[in-house]
Structure 1
Amino acid sequence: MRQQWFEGRLKAIRESGESGLERTADALLALARDILAAERDHAGATSKPTLTPVQRVLLLLEQAIPGQRRSDGTAAASVRETAEAITTKIFHEARLPRLGFLETARNRLRKELRQLLEQQLPELGWSATKPLAARLVELAIERREEFADHSPAQAVAEHIEEAGAVVLPWTGPSRASGPEA
């Protein structure tokens, strides 16, 4: 339906060649803008909601450690806590400008994430933590603005965990962390 309407407009523009080259160009430009706007509207209506930084990290962890979902569909507590800790670590680093520019900052973050993975998920072997930490640093750089805008308090306040098309309950952190703990 929409395509026929746009084709009709294009045909009308081509047939009105007598009105001048500038008017034809303006009409084609307006048609192109309308098509792009319609595509944006359609993409916005059909695309799935974006994942939060915690959910992105959780998906990477679940890919690295298969079988960590419980029978009720939620992630194991240790994996959720690790995802929250990693997101908090990346949150603090993403707010600093050096992460995207200095290789030493990226290497330091990769090493810290690898140590965090080793401490919180001992079932992951040392050889598995290296590529996972590297991918987490890539994610931090690719989605730096999202991590910088996502506060650790938001991670606790999230009530859903999304994996693909399945929406699962988010139970929040199961134990306190930080200097007060």
Structure 2
Amino acid sequence: MGPEKITLAAPSPSFRLRCKSLNSLRLRRIFDMFDKNGDCMITVSEISQALSLLGLDADTEELETMTQSYIRPGNEGLTYDDFVSLHESLGDTYFGFVQSEEEEQQESDLWEAFKVFDENGDGYISARELQVVLGKLGLVEGNLIDNVHRMIGSVDTNHDGRVDFYEFKEMMRATILPSS
């Protein structure tokens, strides 16, 4: 039995996020996780280690081939900008994602609404942030933190105690978008 080949299944919603600023935030976090030595560059070895930790055994030569055209001459690995280019290329190649102007506007509007709640800009709505916004709106639901935790729990699909943009977007679509 040889090493497992990486095969792509159905596209993950997190891979092809429509909101560029959120996508950028998540890509930055992924890049920083892969960059084990903190030199602002991801080598093939670091990518291989990260994939291995995820339970994916990748052939180093295949990774080298896949990333080589994105590594700038003189560099030993991918810079963040190179990593973004690789990610976009994979998205276009494997998922062919195209979004209409109306969808882009809806996404932008949802992102702006999300940012109202995400006061510290970390990409998540915490119970404390939700409580503050509810208080500013004069809503009594925010008076007790237990109420706020229940509200978060009702939309927190990954059970991390916070609401990310994807969870917020799904909640908003279920709540405000008209049914057809």
Q: TM-score, normalised by structure 1?
A: 0.27
Bigger Cα Rg: 1
Q: Greater helix share, 1 or 2?
A: 1
